Amino acid sequence: MSSKKVLFIGSHPDDIDLGCAISMHDHYLKNDEIINIVLTNGEKGGCPSKRSLEQKNSFEILAPNSKNHFLSFPDTELFAHIQEVTKKLRSIVLEVMPDIAYIPSQYDFHQDHVTTHKCALTILTNLRIPKIICYETPSTTPEFTPNYFKLCSLNYFNIKLEALKCHKTQMTKPYFFDDIILSIAKMRAAQVRCHSEVAEAYEIVRFVKFS
């Protein structure tokens, strides 16, 4: 099986890890080429230089040698820079032309996540990108309705917990507690009647398979 180009887009350091860590590591193990874009340095949630370093350390666990783009747009103000964000995203996407793209869901309480979704979707849906997949975050709303689940064993799930521990500035936030992260993963697996596993959950925007 030939390797794929896989793009992950997040608004802040930690978004991609919280939503896609297992999927990213799985793509890495399949020798896929991984490209990450983080739109802000997350300065509203802590020291921006520390948060960016934490994200780099986490990526190094999940997908060593991934190509990482930190764009440093203002945290919580992406909506005010939507044209610049779209332009920069488009330039990277056109250069990469991924086979698969993971982006935040539109169903989210955080305005940055919604803006990121809109900007990314504007670009991706107008290109021949076979798979466009939305991930959940701790601020995802009840309207998020997953129809794609990435299952794994509890033992395999430890790579996600290990990666999230790189975000030391965020560890006091309840959604970083191991029991909460695991409870969500167990609930998602239970939704597809897989009670002995855990899962990350996604919404499919586009899923095209070529013969």
pLDDT, one tens digit per residue, over 172-197 is 999 999 999 999 999 999 999 999 99
Is the predicted pLDDT of residue 6 greater than 70, yes or no?
A: yes
**Range of the structural domain that residue 142 is part of:** 5-207
The pLDDT value given to residue 210 = 82
Residue 10, pLDDT score? 98
DSSP 3-state assignment of 109? coil
| Alpha-carbon span 48 to 145, nearest angstrom | 32
State the CATH number of the domain containing residue 153. 3.40.50.10320
Confidence at residue 129, expressed as pLDDT on a 0 to 100 scale: 96
Our count of domains for the chain comes to 1
Other C-beta atoms lying within 10 Å of the C-beta of residue 5 = 17
- 94 and 56 Cβ atoms separated by less than 8 Å: no
pTM for the structure as a whole: 0.96
pLDDT of res. 91? 98
Residue 141: what pLDDT? Answer: 97
